[in-house]
Amino acid sequence: MKQTKITVKQENKGKRGILDLTGQISQVLKQFEGIYTRKLPETDGLTVEDWMEAHGVPRFVTPKGVKKGYTPALVNGGWREEMLEVNDSNKVMGNYIFKNVPAKYVMDEDDKEAAYRVYASEEEALKADGKPVSVYRLALIDPHKWSVNTILTGLIQSRKYNKLAEKSKEAEDKWAAIEHCYIVKTEGSERKVIEVSKDRVEF
């Protein structure tokens, strides 16, 4: 067997590239191939195809009437309009799902990775298991990080949109009411609580 030698850089960059390619929605949808007619447990006989169709996603049918798989456009058809990013030409540019988005404070603009969790009080920041601030809101799906779970979650959320939008509004109101924000810097074994500007908190 031929062993292809690659550098550490090629190995790491290559891994990232493969994950980016396999995480695109068109690739993820290929996982449905061969399971369309499989019956789902404890669903009174629903098949994968039945479930998807009930959520507004039928299989693609050729002009000759041959059933094929799912396409990104068909998935978008089952997605709630308010959860789609659409351009001026009415083309879908991205999809959103509701999720808890953590608040973060970036100390150094040149190092976005060095972000701190944000707390709404000094007491919460000092606790070992203190609860950092997060807001339940619509978050754009990374085009390279799709999964079957993400697709199914978005379709279910699309059916429950009004209820989830209300939950999101309550979370946004709660965030708006927070007046002080804190981060924790660890210096050696000491946890130091620092108040930061709410204006610089990101999500």
Assess whether pLDDT exceeds 90 at residue 185. no
Assess whether pLDDT exceeds 90 at residue 88. yes
Half-sphere exposure of 49 (CA within 13 A, CB side): 12
pLDDT at 2: 63
CB 92 within 8 Å of CB 158:
no
Confidence of residue 160 (pLDDT cuts 50, 70, 90): very high
Q: pTM higher than 0.85, yes or no? A: yes
Write out pLDDT tens, residues 3-29: 678 899 999 999 999 999 999 999 999
DSSP H stretches of helix in the chain: 8-22, 25-28, 48-54, 72-77, 122-126, 148-159, 161-177
Write out pLDDT tens, residues 118-140: 999 999 998 888 999 999 999 99
Assess whether pLDDT exceeds 60 at residue 1. no
pLDDT at 187: 79
Identity of the residue numbered 196: V
